[in-house]
Amino acid sequence: MSVAGLVLAAGAGTRYGGPKALVPFEGELLVERAARLLAEGGCDPVLVVLGAQADRVQAAARLAAVVLADDWATGMGASLRAGLTALAGPAHARVGACVVALADQPRVGPEAVGRLRAAWQAGAVAAVATYGGRARNPVLLDRSTWPAVASLAQGDAGARAWLRAHPGEVTEVPCDGTGSPADVDTREDLASLLRTP
């Protein structure tokens, strides 16, 4: 069984001033970088969930597999539901888990993804990357959790509601030293990250 990668990149980027999927970062778009980091971390296949200006993103970005979230405007939960539904289909029957990453965290490293995959191979049902002891992204979800995760993914909650409701099934995976979970919400955030290699 393989571990898929799922990039959530459907948002309109209201605070940024446009979809963050289209933001250039060190020679590639944020959405391309997120997909590449998942692939380098051992995820196969890697699906990217798009919504806002999806046609424009698909025209500009080099992406192997795209899922469209028609109700993306309702929040991140819609993107996660769309991605999990696609992975649950017959085309991906050999996928046993997925690592969910956000397009706006360009300093997350592939080693963090690899550590989450290793936790799953060791028996974790869900695994969360921690930095400085705080749970952040990315997150790994075993296939058995997807229906329940999707049912609780509403608004901007994503997988958070399921993770909080099942603490005994969540393995925390320290990822200090593998990168940073800092996200890009504004142009100031982007400038700050570009100053920090």
Q: How confident is the model over 119-136, as a mean pLDDT? A: 97
- CATH code, domain with 135: 3.90.550.10
Per-residue pLDDT of 15-40, as tens digits, reads 999 999 999 999 999 999 999 999 99
pLDDT at 196: 79
Mean pLDDT rounded to a whole number for the chain: 95
Q: What total number of domains does the chain contain?
A: 1
pLDDT at 138: 97
pLDDT at 157: 82
pLDDT at 156: 86
Residue 109 has pLDDT above 80, yes or no: yes
Q: Which domain holds residue 191?
A: 2-195
Confidence of residue 176 (pLDDT cuts 50, 70, 90): very high
Residue 197 has pLDDT above 80, yes or no: no
pTM comes to 0.95
CB-based contacts of 47-50 (< 8 A; 24+ apart in sequence): 47/4, 47/5, 47/6, 47/7, 47/83, 47/86, 47/87, 48/7, 48/9, 48/103, 49/6, 49/7, 49/8, 49/9, 49/10, 49/79, 49/80, 49/82, 49/83, 50/9, 50/10, 50/21
Q: How confident is the model over 98-121, as a mean pLDDT? A: 97
Per-residue pLDDT of 32-78, as tens digits, reads 999 999 999 999 999 999 999 999 999 999 999 999 999 999 999 99
